[in-house]
Amino acid sequence: MLKIENLHAEVDGKPILKGLSLSLNAGEVHAIMGPNGAGKSTLGYVLSGRPGYEVTGGSATFEGADLLEMAPYERAAAGLFLGFQYPVEIPGVSNLQFLREALNAQRRARGQEPLSGGEFIKLARTQANALGLDPEMLKRPVNVGFSGGEKKRAEMVQMGIIDPKLAILDETDSGLDIDALRAVGAGINAIMRKPDKAVLLITHYQRLLDYVKPDFVHVLAGGRIVRSGGPELAHQLEAEGYAEIAA
């Protein structure tokens, strides 16, 4: 589904990714772990097409198409979803309005009919209830006044509504208490643990992986993957830290 080969990228002229290679197949969950400054978030931003992140070498294909040649909205329409470590607030725009416009824009890009207001409200309520988010909160401005856990639950609702093929989740566990962590993990499993979908889960800690059990764990250090393994690698990192493994 996703194939990255010898990817190099820089920000403000500073090299961050330095020859990163990685492949994800449909039906798989891959976790990316590593120390601060290793390039984990940069990888997510490069794949999603965030401005200011310049690719200087290598390639990335998504279902055989050149991902790096697509505009960000084209990547989203193709089925790529980026979850943020710190979801932004959008005052004056309700969650319902934002999500309906986002979903219907993608449906139009794929040649599908937009959902009616009634159809969308039904979908949004179903997803909110599944994630333990009060549907009334969807009437509020995007993330405004939300706690950290509520922001992450709302983002999971967004992912459920958008229903992507590939979810890149950047430190989704950041700032979550135990209950919110469990709810977010359950949401990822319910939405993305399917044979035709894949997840790239970026995290510092093993704790989320107790709920979203990855098929593979990769250590990113110095802008490239330095080690890969199974779920046991995450436990080793938790016990020993990154110093020896990332050296």
Q: Looking up tokens 């403000």, which residue turns up?
A: 12
Number of residues assigned to the chain: 247
pLDDT reported for residue 66 = 97
DSSP 8-state code for residue 137 = G
Pairing of strands 216-221, 224-229: antiparallel
Nearest to 196 by CA among 25, 41, 53, 14: 25
Q: Could you give phi then psi for residue 135, rounded to 5 degrees?
A: -55, -25
pTM score, whole prediction: 0.90
pLDDT along the chain (247 residues), means of 10: 96 94 96 89 94 95 95 92 87 93 90 91 90 87 87 88 93 79 87 94 86 93 93 87 70
Nearest to 192 by CA among 211, 174, 178: 211
The residue type found at 140 is R
Domains, in order of start, for the chain = 2-240 (3.40.50.300)
pLDDT reported for residue 247 = 58
Per DSSP, the residues of 84-114 read -SSPPPEEEEEHHHHHHHHHHHHHHHTTPPP
Sign of the CA dihedral with 34 first, then 163, 175, and 48 last? positive
Q: Which structure tokens are listed for 185? A: 């993990």
d(CA 103, CA 125): 15
The count of other CB atoms within 10 Å of the CB of residue 243 is: 9
- Which 3 state secondary structure label does DSSP give 158? helix
Give pairs for 240-243: CB < 8 Å, separation 24+. 242/33, 242/34, 242/35
Q: Which helix (H) or strand (E) holds 22?
A: strand 14-24
Cα R_g (the chain), whole angstroms: 18
Q: Which structure tokens are listed for 122? A: 């039904």
Nearest to 223 by CA among 13, 2, 14: 14
pLDDT reported for residue 153 = 84
